[in-house]
Amino acid sequence: MIPAVLVIEDELPMRRVLRAALGGQGYRVWEAGTVEEGLAAFAARSPQVVLLDLGLPDGEGFDVVERIRDTSAVPIVVISARGDERDQVRALDGGANDYVTKPFREAELFARLRAALRGAARVSRHAETLTIGPLRIHCYERRVYMAHVEIDLTPTEYNLLHSLAREAGRVITHRQLLRQVWGPEFVEDVQYLRVFMKQLRQKLEPDPTKPQLLVTTPGVGYRLRPPD
């Protein structure tokens, strides 16, 4: 099935470029220029993924994320010229799946789009195995293999890796990780994350000083990067 993308973006040149790029990759493209148009198009077209700009003439993209999340779990990728990490965290915590800062390269956008679609394609959040490149996670047995070698992880390390792997390719914010792994009362304790990410890298990365798999997005969170 050809995935349909709803592009909510008010800048016409950007829309033109996105239409060309997405069309070239075989996506079906719906377009909207305002919050209202976007929400109406979303209800009418039921796209498989939404590309959303934050600064819209009649409102904030954050509102669109919120309104869509009220009814749907469709992947939302925010595309914004706002580089501020606080905006990223706000969008991601609000339920967006990913955040791409404008300007971006075509390859970057499609990698994030594919990751978002892949995440949505997995029906069950409790899949039996997760395979990301050389990394394989057996969820029921809570076992982790790296290039067929079993890696011994502590329960917290496993939970952290599992949270990242479940949504491989997308940035998970500090708060989201802390809530999922430690619980809602620990969302401010970023240093826990630092400690356990370091341990995970030491166990999983071939060279922990050159992290390739567990990537930091400064000020936002972490991402498990699937091999290209």
Partner 1 sequence: MIASARWLPGRTAAASLSAIKRELLLEPAGYLAGALSAGVATALALAVAPHAALAHVMVIYLLGAVLVATRYGVAVSTFTIVTSALCFDYFNIPPIFAFAVPDPHSAATLGGMLLTAAVMCSLLQRLRYQRTLARASEARTLWLCELSLDLSAVASIEALLRAARPHLVRLFGATACVFVRNEAGEIALPGMHREQHACAQRALRTARFQVTETDAGTLACQPITSRRQTLGLVCLTLGAAAVEQHEQRVLLAACADRIAVAIDRLALADAARRAHVEAEAERLRNELLSAMSHDLRTPLASILTAGTTLLGSGAPADHVRRELLATIVEETERLDRLVTNLMSVTRLESGRVRLNKAPEALDELTYGVLSRLAGRLAGREVVVDAPDGLPFVAMDSVLVDQVLVNLIENVLRYTPAGSPLAIRVRVGDGEAKLEVADSGPGIPVEEREKVFEKFYRGNLAKRNDGGSGLGLAICRAVARAHGGHIRIGARAGGGAVIEFVLPAYDSPPREAAGSVQQRELQA
Enumerate binding residues for partner 1 (CB under 8 A).
Answer: 83, 85-86, 103, 154-156, 174, 190-192, 194-198, 208-212, 215-216, 218-219
Preceding peptide of 3 cis, ω within 30° = no
3-state secondary structure at position 123? coil
In degrees, rounded to 5, the angle at the alpha carbon of residue 41 between the alpha carbons of residues 39 and 45 is 125
How far is Cα 170 from Cα 151, in angstroms, rounded to an integer? Answer: 23
Residue closer to partner 1, measured from CB, 86 or 122: 86
Bridge partners, 100 (sequence order): 79
How far is Cα 107 from Cα 93, in angstroms, rounded to an integer? Answer: 25
How far is Cα 96 from Cα 69, in angstroms, rounded to an integer? Answer: 9
Residue closer to partner 1, measured from CB, 180 or 216: 216
Q: CB 14 → partner 1: shortest distance, Å?
A: 14
Q: CB 2 → partner 1: shortest distance, Å?
A: 28
Residue closer to partner 1, measured from CB, 6 or 160: 160
DSSP for 52-85 reads EESEETTEEHHHHHHHHHHH----EEEEES---H
Residue closer to partner 1, measured from CB, 32 or 204: 204
Q: CB 183 → partner 1: shortest distance, Å?
A: 13
Q: CB 216 → partner 1: shortest distance, Å?
A: 4
Q: CB 122 → partner 1: shortest distance, Å?
A: 28
Residue closer to partner 1, measured from CB, 13 or 70: 13
For residue 14, give the H/E element and its range: helix 12-24
Contacts of 15 (CB under 8 A, 6+ apart): 7, 9, 31, 33
Contact 95, 61 (CB under 8 A): no
Residue closer to partner 1, measured from CB, 148 or 210: 210
Q: CB 82 → partner 1: shortest distance, Å?
A: 10
